[in-house]
Amino acid sequence: MTQPAERVNAALARISDDDRGGAEGVDSQHLEVEEDGEEAGFPIGAKYTDNSISAWDGSERPDYQRLMRDVSHNLIGSVRATAADRLCRDVREGMDLIDLFNKHSVRLFTVARGEYNLKRAAGRADFISDVNSAAKESGVKSERVGLARKRQARAGAYGGGIRRYGWGVPTDRVRSVCVNPKADPAEREYVDVPVLDMTKHRADEAAEIRRWADELLAGVTMAHLLRDLRVRKVLTVSQKDGRVLKRGGKVVQTGGWDSKTVRRILMGPRVSGHAVLRGEIVKYDAWPAIISEEKRQALITLLDDPARVTTPGNVPKWLVSKIATCGYCVVGVVTARGGSRSKGITYRCNSCHKGNQLAELVDGYVARVAIKRLAGDDLADLIKPPRPDVDLNALRDELGVCAAKKVEAAASYARGGIDLAMLETIRADRDKRVREIRTTMSEATAGNPLADFVEADTEAAAQAVWASKSIGRRREIVRLLMSVTLLKGDAYKLDPETVVIGPPGERAAVPGDAA
């Protein structure tokens, strides 16, 4: 076969994992291929390189795709690599390569085998056989690594990866880490970093996670929780550890906490001490739990509730904004509005626009009333008693039984033992029971925001507990203690008669209601 003069001989080099970042592996492949091409009389005119990209896991390989485009444009006369698995490790992809190369009369060489005559059945079979052998080798290795990971997880050992929030206690050991792995070997710098025990809690972060759980179960919204994190300047793992975040190969600035991250931490099995592999719990209670499994299930029920509002709009920053009602119209809710520079934020009805009370003064008064009530002897009557009739361990076991029955039903359907309608009925029945169990667990474990005030027997003690709470938790306390109705008052001072306090859940009676 005559090599077209206008087309070039191409070399492809690829390595799956370049841990050192120096591209020595692909450089070595190119050198070997160039020498082989020179000896065979096919000098290399174009190089294609995919460094640290696997051909097995479906990752996009930019230079391989570029090579295929150049072949289809009749720019390539021959392709040379060190071995067939540098080109592909998938039989379907190998067949596509053969079709494309034959269509454009492109010759294929490897250093390991020489030329594959793709025009002949034997040459095509040899290439597919080599690709298939490489695929088998990768599959066996992947299965072996997967089994090792599973044994490791079942034994309760940490499987590696970045530090998870709430975990990682420094040990007495250090390890050397290169801070510039892509630099030339002579210019690389190394620093000692502590070795962490990832099976133990970080006390401050674990306490923070427990605080999130208690806040959400007490009724605080996710938006208020995130606002509280920003106000208290709680750092994420990447911010605390100084880790550089990259997206698409580019450095990005972290925006701090978001609802997705908080949900993932609170709903993930690891927070209850379970070892997870590829999304599946492989060992329960492998490590000490940060929050109990029952509380985690309650959070799953709460956060996965489809009726839960996930985009509530602006987060109220004031105590009774959107809680207090208007004393002049039935439908109005009082909200905080920006006032003049001299007056500041005021409360006004969002319907009739009456009221115009200074928000700071109203909030101060309502807080004083709440604190006085929280220090009272009758506080215990407002706290929902626990449910001794709920066996949380039995419910947890039943959750496992429900999951097992769904797996059994799927296996029975695969064997032909049941039809699709029966499978869907079993799944629907089990899913309904799981929702019932989680609802019961949520009711039994949900926190009451008033519980922290039980031991506060004086107003000073209640004031101290109140001061430690976030604005979201304070708002939930107000909702449980009272209803607030606002009337129009003085523009610059508070008249307590214009802030009417009533029983919780009811609109407070105001002058003129009887008429």
Distance (Å, whole) CA 202 – CA 270: 14
Kindly provide the b/e burial profile for residues 447-478, where b requires at least 16 CB atoms within 10 angstroms of the residue's own CB.
bbbbebbeebeebeebbebbeebbbbbbbbbb
| Better-predicted residue by pLDDT, 446 or 221 | 221
Distance (Å, whole) CA 178 – CA 466: 48
Grade residue 179 by pLDDT with cuts at 50, 70 and 90: confident
The structure tokens 């109705």 sit at 485
Grade residue 362 by pLDDT with cuts at 50, 70 and 90: very high
| Better-predicted residue by pLDDT, 255 or 66 | 66
Domain ranges of the chain: 8-141, 167-303, 325-384+450-502, 392-445
Asked whether the predicted pLDDT for residue 480 surpasses 70, the reply is: yes
pLDDT at 119: 93
DSSP 501: E
pLDDT at 412: 87
pLDDT at 385: 57
pLDDT at 5: 53
pLDDT at 223: 87
Identify the bridge partners of residue 245 per DSSP, sorted by sequence position: 252
Asked whether the predicted pLDDT for residue 515 surpasses 50, the reply is: no
Asked whether the predicted pLDDT for residue 242 surpasses 90, the reply is: no
Q: Which of 149-153, 164-168, 355-359 has the lowest mean pLDDT?
A: 149-153
pLDDT at 4: 47
Asked whether the predicted pLDDT for residue 44 surpasses 70, the reply is: yes
* 170 phi/psi in degrees, rounded to 5: -60, 140
Pick the CATH number of 8-141 from 3.40.50.720, 3.20.20.80, 3.40.50.1390, 1.20.120.80: 3.40.50.1390
Asked whether the predicted pLDDT for residue 22 surpasses 70, the reply is: no
Q: Residue 185 burial by CB count (10 A; 0-12/13-18/19+): exposed, middle or buried? A: exposed
pLDDT at 446: 61
16-25, 149-158, 268-277: which is most confident: 268-277
> Which H or E run contains 319?
none
Question: What's the average model confidence in pLDDT over 251-269?
Answer: 86
| Better-predicted residue by pLDDT, 373 or 18 | 373
Are 221 and 201 a contacting pair, CB within 8 Å? no
Distance (Å, whole) CA 373 – CA 375: 5
Are 453 and 476 a contacting pair, CB within 8 Å? no
| Better-predicted residue by pLDDT, 120 or 133 | 120
- Residue 387 has which token pair? 């449910």
Q: Which of 138-147, 162-171, 304-313 has the lowest mean pLDDT?
A: 304-313
pLDDT digits 0-9 by tens, 85-124: 888 878 888 999 999 999 999 999 999 889 999 999 999 9
Q: Give long-range contacts, CB 8 A cutoff, 24+ apart: 174-183.
A: 181/19, 181/20, 181/21, 181/22, 182/21, 182/22
pLDDT digits 0-9 by tens, 298-327: 888 778 765 555 555 566 788 988 888 888
pLDDT at 341: 54
**3-state per-residue secondary structure call for 135-199:** HHHHHHHHHHHHHHHHHHHHCCCCCCCCCCCCEEEEEEEEEEEECCCCCCHHHCCEEEEEEEEEE
Q: What percent of the chain has pLDDT over 90?
A: 24
Grade residue 21 by pLDDT with cuts at 50, 70 and 90: very low
**Residue 266 burial (CB count, 10 A):** 21
| Better-predicted residue by pLDDT, 282 or 69 | 69
Are 109 and 33 a contacting pair, CB within 8 Å? no
Q: Which of 319, 315, 269 is nearest to 295 (CA)?
A: 269
Are 101 and 81 a contacting pair, CB within 8 Å? no
Asked whether the predicted pLDDT for residue 151 surpasses 90, the reply is: no
Asked whether the predicted pLDDT for residue 514 surpasses 90, the reply is: no
The structure tokens 């009530």 sit at 373
**Residue 445 burial (CB count, 10 A):** 23
Under CATH, which number does the domain 167-303 receive?
Answer: 3.90.1750
| Amino acid sitting at position 336 | A
Mean pLDDT over all residues of the chain? 81
**Residue 170 burial (CB count, 10 A):** 13
pLDDT digits 0-9 by tens, 420-463: 888 889 888 988 888 888 777 766 666 677 877 877 778 898 89
Question: What's the average model confidence in pLDDT over 230-248?
Answer: 81
pLDDT at 20: 43
Grade residue 2 by pLDDT with cuts at 50, 70 and 90: very low
